[in-house]
């Protein structure tokens, strides 16, 4: 069964998230302010516990994107997050998906793939308890030897199905640079092949740039599969090092007009890793997004 983006937003992230924390949905165009995105506080501040949550909600942030490691000490921050008024929580599993370092969903070494899946299934158990409705994952890198792209794809599809069967959390596959299936077309094809109602796609705008795609084209390609957008910048100007640096908005090659389209009806999170003064960077990101919305 496939559901549309609109249906997803209505019955998926927004409702589930709002129910969890007893607040109105605040993200995306469905009943929320398009300028109320989520923030990946770990990227900005190193750890949620370091984040000045009240100030962030004061700026207009309404949701939090978490990393799995944030779950380990949730008792330390959960009350503060609720008190500050963050309405929605999302889970980004990328730190668990560093091939060989932490894990991969298509690892040709079965014990590694199994360990990755087991870890993510445990994360899913916890996300259910917290009523977090989205889990973002990405393909791995190709094995150095003895694995064809078709074999890797089969493993990725099997892994996604297993995660999908782990509950009702929506598993979102996103393209990431220097990994397999790095184009939105390939991501769409993998999502279709998985054929599970709770498997869809996320779009990371910086990753799209690094993968040589226009974010708006990538969004169109993903179509109704696209359920979540992550916003950060990437510098792809000639001579720059192509690195997944999650730059502050405006410091790379991201264009405002491309972002505007996606801000209208999708939940999105800002995932910058600023070099200094994270609070100012968080504020500046919203200002940049505001100017993008006004473009």
Partner 1 sequence: MESSDPLPRVWVRPVNPEEYPGFAERPVKPVTRQDFDHQFQTTALRGFGTDRGPEAPYKYRVINIKETLDLWTKDYDFGRVIWPWWTFLFAENWREVIDELAARRLYLFDIWGYVPSGPLEKFGWSEYRVPDETHRYILEKMGPLFLGYDNGEQDGRYIGSYAPVVCPAPVTRREAHEAFLQYFRHLGDDLQNYLTSLNSLTFPHYFAQMRNHRLLGAETAQALPSVPMWYAFIRGAGKQYGILWFGNASVWNRWGAKSLAEPEAEDTTAPGFLSGPTAGTSMSLLRRLWYVLVMYGGLIMGYESGHLSSKTEERVIGGVKKTVPALTDIGREHLKGAKWCRDHPDRGELHTPVALLWDFHAGWAPPRHLYTSTPYLVWGNMPYEKGDHQVDLLFRELYPTYEDAGFYHDERGFLTATPCGDSFDVLLSDAPAEILRRYECIIVLGGARIPYALPGLEAYVGQGGNLVACANQLAPETISLFGVREIGPVEEANHAIIEGQPWPINEPRFRYHRLVCDPKAKVLARTRQGAPLAVRLERTGSSTLLFASEFFLSNPTLAPDHIRNEVDQPLASPYAMLAHVKAILLPHLRSFTLVTVEGPPIQFLVNVTSRTDRLVVTLCNNEPMPWEGTIRSRRGRVKQARNWMTDKALPGGEGVRLQVPPLDVLVIELHLDRPAFKVKE
Binding site for partner 1 (CB under 8 A): 43, 94-95, 98-102, 104, 107-110, 112, 138, 141, 143-147, 176-179, 207, 232, 237-246, 271, 273-275
| Phi, psi for residue 81 in degrees, rounded to 5 | -65, -45
Which is nearer to partner 1, 84 or 284 (by Cβ)? 284
Which is nearer to partner 1, 10 or 102 (by Cβ)? 102
CB of 145 to partner 1, least distance (A): 5
CB of 245 to partner 1, least distance (A): 5
Which is nearer to partner 1, 179 or 196 (by Cβ)? 179
CB of 208 to partner 1, least distance (A): 13
Q: Give the integer Cα–Cα distance in Å for 225 and 99.
A: 25
CB of 91 to partner 1, least distance (A): 15
Q: Give the integer Cα–Cα distance in Å for 279 and 105.
A: 34
How, if at all, do strands 88-92 and 134-137 pair?
Answer: parallel
Which is nearer to partner 1, 54 or 275 (by Cβ)? 275
Query: Is the separation of the CB atoms in 22 and 279 below 8 Å?
Result: no
Which is nearer to partner 1, 32 or 177 (by Cβ)? 177
CB of 294 to partner 1, least distance (A): 28
Query: Is the separation of the CB atoms in 266 and 10 below 8 Å?
Result: no
Q: Give the integer Cα–Cα distance in Å for 288 and 208.
A: 19
Helices (H) and strands (E) counted in the chain, each on its own, are 13, 8
């Amino acid at each position: 069964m496939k559901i549309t983006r609109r249906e997803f937003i209505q019955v998926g992230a927004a409702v589930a998230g709002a129910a969890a924390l007893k607040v109105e949905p605040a993200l995306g165009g469905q009943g929320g302010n398009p300028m109320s995105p989520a923030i990946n506080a770990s990227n900005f501040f190193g750890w949620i516990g370091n984040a000045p949550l009240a100030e962030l909600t004061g700026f207009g942030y309404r949701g939090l994107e978490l990393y799995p490691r944030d779950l380990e000490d949730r008792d330390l921050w959960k009350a503060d997050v609720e008190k500050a008024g963050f309405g929605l929580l999302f889970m980004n599993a990328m730190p668990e998906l560093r091939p060989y370092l932490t894990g991969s969903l298509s690892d040709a070494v079965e014990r590694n793939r199994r360990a990755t899946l087991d870890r993510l299934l445990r994360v899913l158990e916890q996300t259910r308890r917290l009523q977090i409705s989205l889990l973002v994952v990405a393909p791995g890198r190709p094995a150095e030897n003895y694995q064809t792209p078709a074999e890797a794809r089969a493993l990725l599809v099997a892994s996604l199905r297993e995660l999908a069967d782990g509950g009702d959390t929506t598993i979102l596959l996103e393209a990431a640079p220097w990994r397999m299936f790095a184009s939105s077309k390939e991501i769409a094809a993998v999502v279709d092949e998985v054929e599970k109602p709770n498997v869809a796609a996320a779009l990371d705008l910086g990753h799209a740039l690094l993968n040589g795609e226009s974010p708006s084209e990538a969004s169109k390609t993903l179509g109704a599969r696209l359920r979540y957008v992550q916003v950060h910048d990437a510098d792809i100007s000639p001579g720059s090092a192509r690195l997944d640096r999650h730059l502050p908005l405006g410091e790379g090659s991201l264009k405002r007009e491309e972002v505007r389209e996606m801000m209208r009806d999708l939940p999105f999170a800002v995932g910058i890793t600023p070099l200094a003064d994270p609070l100012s960077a968080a504020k500046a990101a919203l200002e940049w997004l505001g100017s993008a919305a006004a473009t």
